[in-house]
Amino acid sequence: MIWLIGAKGMLASEINTLLTQNSIQWIGTDIEVDITDKNALEEFYEEAFQNKKCEWIINCAAYTAVDKAEDNSSMAQKLNADSLINIAELVKRVGAKLIHFSTDYVFAGNSTVPYIEADKTDPQSIYGKTKLEGELNIINNLHEHYIIRTAWLYGKAGPNFVSTMLRLMNEKDEIKVVNDQIGTPTYAVDLAKAVIKIITSDNKKYGIYHYSNEGTISWYDFACEIYKQGKELDLIKNDCRVLPCDSSQFHQKAKRPSFSLLNKEKIKQTFDLLIPDWKESLSCYLKELI
């Protein structure tokens, strides 16, 4: 039995679909169980599982409003960092294993080569700092964990860069997109498939892993491909020019990593994963919208 925390989110929605398709029993909770309250977690576990064995807890809950976190650091701290002590201690007590998701924002973003899991962390935002503290709270309290850092996540269940671009491209004659932030998108379905591979592999190589789709692009490159494929699929009916610009033209409270490319060799080799190219995954996502 699996407990999926944050079950209504973008990634969790894809995970719960695949759990059901693979006939894996799961229980999902969202804001009705307060992960910042240790007693609330314990009470739900005792009531929901009773004589059932909880083998995995998958935590998809997080404070992900990057700019708002700069002004609401206490809430980001509670959800992204402090709650992980509660979750890790519960996982340890019941003899389960944990999958938790982190972010490229734990790095400074000044590298010139893809980040590996052991690279020095140096978050530049409240969001990144609280996510890193959450990682450390897991590591310091629980051995049986998989922490998956990802980047540029998009999917059907929630607003994301792709859905925003589709809307703007249908509304405007011209949009500007930054071309000085480099990374790779992550299609939520692909990451969810990786999660299923982990929980069905019986592999006990715990630790931190990186996952995103394959490729190296800027947000501008991503937008151009969204426009190209969107026009071909008739999801974009308007003619819109996509223009490059640099980050200085957009005022954002939280500093974004200028380079957030993640090296995926560890997760590919450990779990024998084939990771799709970002264009291929974008095509799958857009076709789901037709």
Given the DSSP bridges, would you call strands 145-150 and 97-103 parallel, antiparallel or unpaired?
parallel
Quote the pLDDT of residue 64. 96
- The question of whether 115 is a catalytic residue gets the answer no
Q: Residue range 184-204: average pLDDT?
A: 96
CATH of domain 2-159+185-215+259-276: 3.40.50.720
Could you give the angle at which helices 278-289 and 219-232 cross, rounded to 10 degrees?
40
- The pTM of the full predicted model, rounded to 2 decimals, is 0.97
Percentage of the chain beyond pLDDT 90 is 97
User: What pLDDT digit, counting tens, does each position of 205-226 carry?
Assistant: 999 999 999 999 999 999 999 9
Confidence of residue 158 (pLDDT cuts 50, 70, 90): confident
Mean pLDDT of the chain: 97
23: region left, alpha or beta (phi > 0 left; psi from -120 to 50 alpha): left
Q: Where are the chain's structural domains? A: 2-159+185-215+259-276
Residues 55 and 34: their CA atoms lie apart, in Å, by 21
pLDDT > 90? residue 195? yes
Distance CA 155, CA 249 (A): 27
Active-site residue among 115, 127, 209, 227? 127
As a whole number of angstroms, the distance between CA 78 and CA 101 comes to 16
pLDDT tier at 282 (50, 70, 90 boundaries)?
very high
pLDDT (0 to 100) of residue 251: 84
Q: List pLDDT tens digits, range 197-206.
A: 999 998 999 9
